[in-house]
Amino acid sequence: MTTRPRAPIAVALDAPDVETAAQWAQAVTPYVAVVKVGLELFCRTGPSIVETVRGGSGVDLFLDLKLHDIPNTVAGAARGVARLKPRYLTVHASGGADMVKAAVESAPDVTIAAVTVLTSMSADALAAVGIQGLPLDAVRRLAALAVGAGAGALVCSPQEVAAVRSEVGAGIILITPGVRPVGADVQDQARVATPAQALADGADLLVIGRPITGARDPGAAAAEIAASLSR
pLDDT at 1: 35
* CB contact set of 165 (below 8 Å; sequence gap of 6+): 174, 201, 202
pLDDT of residue 231: 67
23 confidence band (pLDDT: 50, 70, 90): very high
pLDDT for residue 2: 39
Spell out a b/e string for 94-104, using b for 16 or more CB atoms within 10 Å of the CB, else e: bbbeebbbbbb
Exactly one of 36, 66, 85, 101 is catalytic; name it.
66
Q: Is residue 194 pLDDT above 90, yes or no?
A: no
| The model scores a pTM over 0.85 | yes
66 is a catalytic site residue: yes
- Rounded Cα gap, residues 149 and 203, in angstroms: 21
